[in-house]
Amino acid sequence: MVNTSWLKISKPGLYVLPAKAHIDPIRAVDTAIITHGHSDHARPGHKHVIATKQTLAIMSARYGENFANQKTALTYNDKFTLGEVEVKLIPAGHVLGSAQIVLKYENTKIIAAGDYKRRLDPTCVPFQVEQCDVFITEATFGLPVFSHPKPEDEIKN
């Protein structure tokens, strides 16, 4: 049986109880793990932000150097312990610096993907597949009404 009781939905967003951290919170929190630099995922005012170096740079350019009291830059596939949770960022293939957040606690591995792209994109590191017990994804453009042009056609235009 997969145990997901250590994740909770809170007003700021998805909360990882044993890490005492939120993933892409919508309001300022003590510790935020950020998937990428788009404003619907990355916001200023957190005490501590954990993200890739590129995402931190995007946040700094967007919100100013003091967007957080403390910043921790993680490299893809490097493990980091936060509270009782092993955290690792792996490429999401969405935009420069985008990452899926891999959380391992007790015997459960959960990946919070944020936004991701499976097609190759020359502007960022390709999506990395990793086995997990639970995969949390968004469905912003999941409806059939959304149709995106091929990247090659966009580059030509």
**Site of tokens 């990355």:** 42
What's the token pair of residue 60? 């700094």
- pLDDT band for position 155 (cuts 50, 70, 90): confident
Query: For 83-100, what is each residue's pLDDT tens digit?
Result: 999 999 999 999 999 999
Number of domains comprising the chain: 1
- The confidence score (pLDDT) of residue 142 equals 66
In a domain, 123, yes or no: yes
Domain that holds residue 24: 7-156
In a domain, 101, yes or no: yes
- The confidence score (pLDDT) of residue 100 equals 98
In a domain, 1, yes or no: no
pLDDT tops 70 at residue 43: yes
Sign of CA dihedral 124, 35, 27, 45: negative
In a domain, 29, yes or no: yes
In a domain, 2, yes or no: no
In a domain, 25, yes or no: yes
CATH number, domain containing residue 26: 3.60.15.10
- The confidence score (pLDDT) of residue 128 equals 97
Name the nearest CA neighbour of 62 among 78, 81, 40, 82. 40
The percent of residues above 70 in pLDDT, for the chain, comes to 97
> Model pTM greater than 0.85?
yes
pLDDT tops 90 at residue 156: no
In a domain, 87, yes or no: yes
